[in-house]
Structure 1
Amino acid sequence: MVFIFLIFAVGSSMGPFVGGVLVDRATWRCIFYISLPAAGTSLFLMLIFLQVEYRKQTTFEQKMKRIDWFGNFLLSGAVISILYALTYAGALSPWSSWKVIFPLVLGIIVYIIFHVYEASSYCVEPTIPLRIFGNRTSTIAFIATFIHGMLTYWTLYFLPVYFQGVLQSTPTRSGVQLLPTVIVLVPFAIFAALWTTKTGRYKPPQFVGWAFMVAGLGALSTLDPNSSTAKWAIFQTLITMGSGMINTPLLPAIQAGLPESDVAASAATWSFMRDFGSIWGVSIPGAILDNQFNSIVAGLSDKGIADRLVGGSAYQQASKEFINSFSPNVRIELIDTYSRSLKIVWYVALGFGILGFIITWGEKEIALRETLETDYGMKERKAKTLNASNNA
Structure 2
Amino acid sequence: MATTEKHSAPAEEKADQPRSVRVVLLALMIAMLLAMLDNMIIGTAMPTIVGELGGLEHLSWVVTAYTLATAASTPIWGKLGDMFGRKGVFLTSIVIFLIGSALSGMAQDMGQLIGFRAVQGLGAGGLMVGVMAIIGDLIPPRDRGKYQGMMAGIMALAMIGGPLVGGTITDHWGWRWSFYINLPLGAVALAMLATVLHLPRKERAAGTRIDFAGAVLLTVGITAIVLVTTWGGTEYAWGSLNIIGLSVAGVAALAAFLFVETRASDPIMPLHIFRSRNFTLMSVIGFLTGFVMFGAVLFLPLFQQSVQGASATNSGLLLLPMLLSMMVVSMIAGRVTTSSGKYKIFPIVGGAFMTAGLYLLSTMDTDTTRFASGVYMAVLGAGMGFLMQITMLVAQNSVEMKDMGVASSSTTLFRTLGSSFGVAIMGALFNHQVQNEMAARGSGAATARSAQLDAASLAKLPEALREAYQHAVAAGTHSAFLVGASVSVLGFVLAFFVKEVALRGTGLPKKDEAPGAGAEPKTVETV
Query: Which amino acid in 2 is paired with 1:106?
Result: A
The equivalent of 1:132 in structure 2 is 273
Name the CA distance, whole Å, in 1 between partners of 2:250 and 2:150.
Answer: 31
What secondary structure sits across from 1:178 in the alignment? helix
Mapped to 2, the partners of 1:345 and 1:56 lie a distance apart of: 47
**Corresponding position: 1:320 with 2:421:** no
Counterpart-to-counterpart distance in 2, 1:23 and 1:42: 15
| Aligned: 1:289 with 2:430 | yes
Partner of 1:336: 471
Distance in 2 between residues matched to 1:31 and 1:366, nearest whole Å: 52
**1:347 paired to 2:488:** no
Q: 2:191 corresponds to which residue? A: 48
Deviation readout 1:157-191 (Å, 9 max, x if unpaired) = 11112112221222123322211233222221121
Contact 2:148–2:331 (Cα < 8 Å) also in 1 = no
Secondary structure in 2 matching 1:334: helix
Other-structure match for 2:336: 195
What is the rounded CA distance, in whole Å, between the counterparts of 1:32 and 1:86 in structure 2? 28
Q: CA deviation at 1:58?
A: 5.1
- The Cα offsets for residues 312-350 of structure 1, whole Å up to 9 and x where unpaired, read as xx44x1422343342110110111011011111111100
- TM-score scaled by structure 2? 0.63
Query: Hey, what's the Cα distance between the residues in 2 that align with 1:14 and 1:283?
Result: 25
Rounded Cα–Cα distance in structure 2 between residues aligned with 1:322 and 1:147: 34
On the 8 A contact 1:202/1:252 being kept in 2, the answer is no
Note the C-alpha offset of 1:113.
2.2
How far 1:204 moved relative to its partner?
0.8
Greater RCO, 1 or 2 (C-alpha within 8 Å, sep 6+): 1
User: Which whole-Å CA distance do the structure 2 matches of 1:85 and 1:169 have between them?
Assistant: 32
- CA distance in 2 between counterparts of 1:284 and 1:349 reads 10
Matched, 1:375 2:511: yes
Q: Between the two proteins, what is the percent identity of the paired residues?
A: 24
Q: Find the counterpart in structure 1 of residue 67 from structure 2.
A: none
Q: Pick the aligned partner of 1:37 from 180, 205, 219.
A: 180
Query: What's the counterpart of residue 113 of structure 1?
Result: 256
Does the CA-based 8 Å contact 2:355-2:489 persist in structure 1?
yes
Amino acid at match of 1:368: L
- CA deviation map 1:34-69 (0-9, x unaligned): 55234434543444333454434459xx79x64333
* Counterpart check, 1:185 vs 2:326: yes
Cα-Cα RMSD: 3.0
Residues 52/341 of structure 1: CA separation in 2 closer, same or farther (3 Å cut): same
Aligned residue in 1 for 2:368: 227
Identify the range of structure 1 (237-246 vs 252-261) with the bigger mean alpha-carbon deviation.
252-261
Q: CA deviation at 1:25?
A: 6.6
- Shift, 1:114, TM fit: 1.9
Corresponding residue of 1:389: none
Moved more, 278-287 or 353-362: 278-287
Counterpart position of 2:496:
361
Please list, as runs of the form range in 1=range in 2, the aligned pairs for 1:247-286 lying within 5 A after superposition: 247-286=388-427
- Partner residue in 1 for 2:383: 242
Q: Distance in 2 between matches of 1:134 and 1:205?
A: 23
SS at match of 2:313: helix
> Could you tell which deviates more after superposition, 156-165 or 81-90?
81-90
User: Which of 82, 96, 106 is residue 225 of structure 2 equivalent to?
Assistant: 82
Alpha-carbon offset, residue 363 of structure 1: 1.2
- Using the TM superposition, give the Cα deviation of residue 211 of structure 1 relative to its aligned residue in structure 2, in angstroms: 1.6
Structure 1 position 87, deviation (Å):
2.0
- Could you state the TM-score of these two structures normalised by the residue count of structure 1? 0.83
Matched, 1:98 2:241: yes
Distance 2:178 2:487 in 1: 32
> Using the alignment, how far apart are the partners of 1:10 and 1:31 within structure 2?
28
Q: Which runs of 4 or more aligned residues in structure 1 lie more than 6 Å from their structure 2 counterparts after TM superposition?
A: 22-28
Q: Which runs of 5+ in 1 are unaligned?
A: 378-392
- State the distance in 2 between where 1:32 and 1:103 align: 34
Q: Which moved more, 1:205-214 or 1:92-101?
A: 92-101
What is the SS of the residue equivalent to 1:363? coil
Distance 1:247 1:81, change over 3 A: same
State the Cα distance separating 1:95 from its structure 2 match.
2.2
